[in-house]
Structure 1
Amino acid sequence: MTMDGAVVVPGTTQGAEWVDEVVLAGPDDNICFRVPDPVDLGKLRQLVRDRQKELAQSGFRPGGAVALRLPPSMAFVTHLLAIWRGGGQAILLDHRLTDYEVRRAIERLVPQVVVSPAQPVPAGLRTFVEVDTDLASYSGHPAGTSHAVVQLSSGSTGPSKVIGRTADDLVAEVLRYTQIDGVPQRGERLILLPSMVHVLGLVGGLLYGLHAGVELVPPARLTGDAILQAIGSATTPATVLGVPFHIGLLASVQDPPWLPQFKRMTTGGELVPAAVWRAFEEKYGVPLGNMYGMTEVGVIGTDLYGEHRPAIRPAPGIEVRAVDGELQIRRPESPYLGLSDPTRWADGWLHTRDAGVVDPGTGLVSIKGRLDSQVSVGGLKVDLTEVEATLASLRGVEAAVVAFDGAITAYVQLNEPRPVADLEAELAQQLASYKRPRTLHLLNQLPRTTTGKLVRDLSTLRKAVS
């Protein structure tokens, strides 16, 4: 079923039919959101049409760009779909960015309209909020590229990169999800924890969920108890989608109730230490699935049943190879805007800068951590990922980042008081002396990106210490 008002922009891949045919198709009475009241597909379509009219009145034109600086909300969802249906480019800016960061992005990408909250977004743990919007007109310039969406990378290892993806690319990823064994099916629910500004929540959550007829359920708050309440709010099967940070929230719940509708949890982002996934599966009795992806590509591989951990199987249509220990993904064109860097993309291959191997017999991919985690200490090779995993396994350690700053340096966040000397003594029992950190900094809170990833940028870590 399609709606009126779809716009096709000649010479681009942003034609709006894909929104109606891939994202908004289905009976009007299908419940697509529960926030907490149900929102059916008919209501969502009408809200999208209304947003299209508002954007047009604010100066948005087909082929133009609109920047969204909104928290997860129905306002974000409906504005995003309205931009695409209007034949435009959506620039996604995390609402938690500073005014300076937003200003720099706007100056570079020159949107016609910027959509922001009309009032400050209340601080707190809400995962989905109600916001009124303010639409500010900036220019009449068309979008600089034909990409349907422009995103900023997480910035966990340095400055964010500007990444563009076409409508064809987004549709291909949505259809890729439908071929992955273990994803939620029509009539099931997806407890949505990651931000829809970033690729996991955007495609793996929002777009796939709408396409597949899965009910999207953001919990009332970002706490372990609220996540469990969302799972238990209905009897239909529920999958929790999140990142490793969210596992900690569920692990913090003492004596969780038995929830037969809890089907699995799937995490993207960082590797999950063995002790963490074992504890999770023991506590909840459901598989902890793993997903590997990048903003530049979307989902690359999965292991949703936990059968191959720590390896993953490439998603349908994804070609992965390992060259000199680095994982590379086939991609016909560079995803980067305004960046010509052969160390990131060259000759049809995206350089992930992740270390890994591809098993020639099974095709399974094992991710070994960041490529820059391999360092030389006194002529001996040290994998900082191994040091970090060992440190994170110690009692009382909530999270840890190990970096090389002329010497191995560790940054540690504790969940219970422990002297540095005790941590160092335990490391001495598990790691050779040349692998152990020369300096160990205790921080109240390790820096994280807006997606919850631990920041590994040295300048940011040094600043957190000082």
Structure 2
Amino acid sequence: MTKGLASAGSALVTSPEWVDEVLLRGADDDRCLYSGGPVDRAALRRLVAQRQARLTEAGLRAGGSLALRLPPSVAYVANLLAGWRIGAQVSLLDHRLTAFEVDAALDRLAPQVVVEPGRITSSPLSPFADVEETVTARPGRPAGTPHAVIQLSSGSTGPSKVIGRTAADLVAEIERYTRIDGVPLPGERIIVLASMVHVLGLVGALLYGLHAGVQVRPPERLTGDSVLDAVAAEATPATVLGVPFHIGLLASVVDPPRLPQLKRMTTGGEAVPAATATAFTERYGVPLGNMWGMTEVGVIATDLFGEHRPALTPAPGLQVVERGGELWVSRPESPYVGLSDPDRWADGWLHTRDTGAVDPDTGLVTVKGRLDSQVSVGGLKVDLTEVEATLAELPGVVAAVVLHDDVITAYAQLDAPATAASVQAGLAERLAAYKRPRRVHVLDAMPRTTTGKLVRDRSVLRAAAAGNGVPR
């Protein structure tokens, strides 16, 4: 445990002072953020104090409720930390949600103060915006739970769940990061591509970076060349943090320069196909690390050196077990707000709904897919995860989802010269007839959540296929 966390103690993280002790502590000239230029810790503390005064003026008090709907930006960071310093509960809404989705979320969460974008002057391709925010008081209700942050699940498999995490829980995850071999070290940089509204970017980049003295730096634009420019901008080691979707950004660079600063790329959210991982490491000469986590608990297991792919090592302080084919993760209390479903959390265990295995000798965890991926076809068991992985490995397949929708149905995004016929031929060589998709929909672009995950909701995929034409 590092000094800031040790000094916080279990009592402090239940009060607003944890922000100063765990996140804002450090030398005034420590460059903790980068947005058009370096932002040192003294400047960040001033920005947080300014936002704190503004939120207080709007009526926010300890025990109150605040909703942030800001793009990743210095304004987002300052308002988030200011809300926590006041002692308020902060709900995070992705700025890419539609007005309809935002209204539904606000009705559901009923915050007392909302911070939204006003004027945005940066490029739409910039992952870190220049934004002037607006602060609005509304007739909401104070926080009904002790959670410091409220997040909505990604919604990749259906309606979002409301998930709460206490300050103590966030500090515990930060502490887990400090004990994981391969994370960025003090004085290094995180080139962050993952959204800071969601758990990977929020804790794995922003909160851990602020605590550990690691500069959090987004690229100027969300392009492969810009990501490499951000790596090359300083001499200190840099880790690129994103989701598998972002691997394509670096793959798009035709002739990448040699970058001794590049330490690794780490992805979370979905498994990376072996062929993709191999191509990345051969091209850039650095590890492609992998993380498994959930909004409900944060980082669960990692393989930051790419040594055990697809297996991972549980994060320090967490226990992962397999029960009836499902992976369970130790968690002392339910993360769900307004939900007491024993099928999701019970007796100190979070039911991940992921299938997998835990090696009894090494403790390594292998995540195999979703619990609902096992189906029966003519009395024979088919693991849709296997079918999807086989499809994703075929030449020309950019992304794929396989579901059981009356019959095994595949949705795929292809690069030329791949076609539905070539995909079907490739599957015929690799899978028994009863495992193969009966329908293959070729989409121009696979639907994704705001975090870059492939959408697996049947209704969304059906609508995308209908808009793309008939099955091919």
TM-score, normalised to structure 2's length?
0.95
Say if 1:399 and 1:446, in contact at 8 Å, map to a contact too.
yes
Distance in 2, matches of 1:38 and 1:229, equals 15
Tell me whether 1:302 sits opposite 2:298 in the alignment: no
**Could you say if the C-alpha distance between residues 13 and 208 of structure 1 is closer, same or farther in structure 2, counting changes exceeding 3 Å?**
closer
1:306-339 CA distance string (max 9 Å, x none): 1111100100100111000000011121100111
**1:370 partner amino acid:** R
Q: Could you give the per-residue CA deviations for residues 354-375 of structure 1, whole angstroms, max 9, x where no partner exists?
A: 0001111111111101111111
Distance in structure 2 (CA, Å) of the matches to 1:126 and 1:380: 49
Partner of 1:288: 288
Letter of the aligned partner of 1:65 in structure 2?
S
Offset, 1:267: 0.6
Report the secondary structure of 1:20's partner residue. Answer: helix
Deviations 1:356-404 (A, max 9, x none): 0111111111110111111111111111111111111112111001111
Deviations 1:94-152 (A, max 9, x none): 00111122112212222110000014687732100110111110136321111000000
Taking only aligned residues, the RMSD between alpha carbons, in angstroms, comes to: 1.4
- Residue in 2 that maps onto 1:196: 196
Equivalent residues of 1:64, 1:89 under 8 A apart: yes
Could you tell me whether the CA contact under 8 Å between 1:14 and 1:87 is conserved in 2?
A: no
Query: What is the CA–CA distance in structure 2 between the aligned matches of 1:116 and 1:66, rounded to whole Å?
Result: 11
SS of aligned partner of 1:293: strand
Give the 3-state SS of the residue equivalent to 1:168 in structure 2: helix
Matched, 1:379 2:371: no
Do the aligned partners of 2:188 and 2:236 also contact (CA within 8 Å) in 1? yes
**Larger deviation: 148-157 or 101-110?**
101-110
Partner in structure 1 of residue 168 of structure 2: 168
- Measure, in 2, the Cα distance between the counterparts of 1:419 and 1:182: 40
Equivalent in the alignment of 1:74: 74
Q: Distance in 2 between matches of 1:48 and 1:105?
A: 26
Q: Name the stretch that deviates more: 122-131 or 215-224.
A: 122-131
User: Any conservation in 2 of the 1:293–1:300 contact (CA below 8 Å)?
Assistant: yes
Between the aligned partners of 2:55 and 2:126, the Cα distance in structure 1 is 27
Q: State the SS of the aligned residue for 1:118.
A: strand
Q: Compute the displacement of 1:235 (Å).
A: 1.1
Change in CA separation of 1:461 and 1:146 when aligned onto 2, cut-off 3 Å? same
User: Residue 238 and residue 120 in structure 1: after superposition, are their counterparts in 2 closer, same or farther (change >3 A)?
Assistant: closer
Superimposed CA distance per residue, residues 397-424 of structure 1 (whole angstroms, 9 cap, x where no aligned partner): 1100111101110001112243311211
Q: State the partner residue of 1:110.
A: 110
- C-alpha spacing 1:120/1:30, structure 2 compared with 1 (3 Å): closer
> Is the partner of 1:132 in helix, strand or coil?
strand
Contact 2:455 2:461 in 1 (8 A): yes
Q: 1:17: which partner in 2? A: 17
**AA of the residue aligned to 1:278:** T
Name the CA distance, whole Å, in 2 between partners of 1:141 and 1:248.
Answer: 43
1:250 aligns with 2:250: yes
Matched length: 456
Please tell me whether residue 272 in structure 1 is matched to residue 299 in structure 2. Answer: no
> What is the rounded CA distance, in whole Å, between the counterparts of 2:293 and 2:61 in structure 1?
33
SS in 2 for 1:391: helix
What is the DSSP-based 3-state SS (H/G/I as helix, E as strand, rest coil) of the residue aligned with 1:235?
coil
Question: Could you list the per-position Cα deviations for residues 420-440 of structure 1 after superposition, in whole angstroms to 9, with x for gaps in the alignment?
Answer: 112111111111111110000
Residue pairs, 1:62-461, within 5 angstroms: 62-119=62-119, 124-139=124-139, 141-461=141-461
Distance 2:105 2:64 in 1: 16
* Cα distance, 1:14 vs structure 2: 4.3
User: Does structure 2 retain, via aligned residues, the 8 Å contact 1:156–1:453?
Assistant: yes
Cα distance in 1 for partners of 2:270, 2:415 equals 20
Partner of residue 5, structure 2: none
CA distance in 2, matches of 1:421, 1:427: 10
Range with greater deviation from structure 2 (102-111 or 64-73): 102-111
Aligned counterparts of 1:403 and 1:137: Cα–Cα separation in 2: 44
Instruction: Give the TM-score normalised by the residue count of structure 1.
Output: 0.96
Task: Give, in whole Å, the separation in 2 of the partners of 1:223 and 1:101.
Answer: 28
Task: Sort the Cα spacing of 1:97 and 1:37 in 2 relative to 1 into closer, same or farther, 3 A.
Answer: same
Q: Which amino acid aligns with 1:169?
A: D
Hey, what does 1:3 align to over in structure 2? none
Runs of 4+ in 1 over 3 A off after TM superposition: 11-14, 119-123
Distance 1:213 1:391 in 2: 42
Q: 1:109·1:144 contact (CA, 8 Å) conserved in 2?
A: no
Q: CA shift at 1:74, angstroms?
A: 0.5
Counterpart CA distance in 2 for 1:300 and 1:291 is: 8
Q: Residues of 2 paired with 1:14 and 1:218: CA distance?
A: 31
* Cα distance change, pair 325–421 in 1 and its aligned pair in 2 (3 A): same
Q: Report the Cα distance in structure 1 between the residues aligned to 2:254 and 2:119, rounded to whole angstroms.
A: 37
CA contact (8 A) 2:120 2:131 kept: no
Indicate the residue corresponding to 2:59 in structure 1.
Answer: 59
Cα deviation digits, residues 132-182 of structure 1 (max 9, x gap): 111110136321111000000011111110000000000000011000011
Q: 1:301 touches 1:315 (CA, 8 Å); kept in 2?
A: yes
C-alpha distance in 1 between matches for 2:215 and 2:419: 47
The one-letter amino acid paired with 2:207 is L
SS in 1 for 2:180: coil
Cα separation, 1, equivalents of 2:173 and 2:426: 45
Q: Distance in 1 between matches of 2:112 and 2:199?
A: 23
Tell whether the 8 Å contact from 1:14 to 1:147 is kept in structure 2 after alignment: no
Which whole-Å CA distance do the structure 1 matches of 2:141 and 2:150 have between them?
16
Question: What's the CA shift for 1:36?
Answer: 2.5
Which runs of no fewer than 5 residues in structure 2 stay unpaired? 1-10, 467-472
8 Å Cα contact 2:174/2:207 also seen in 1: yes
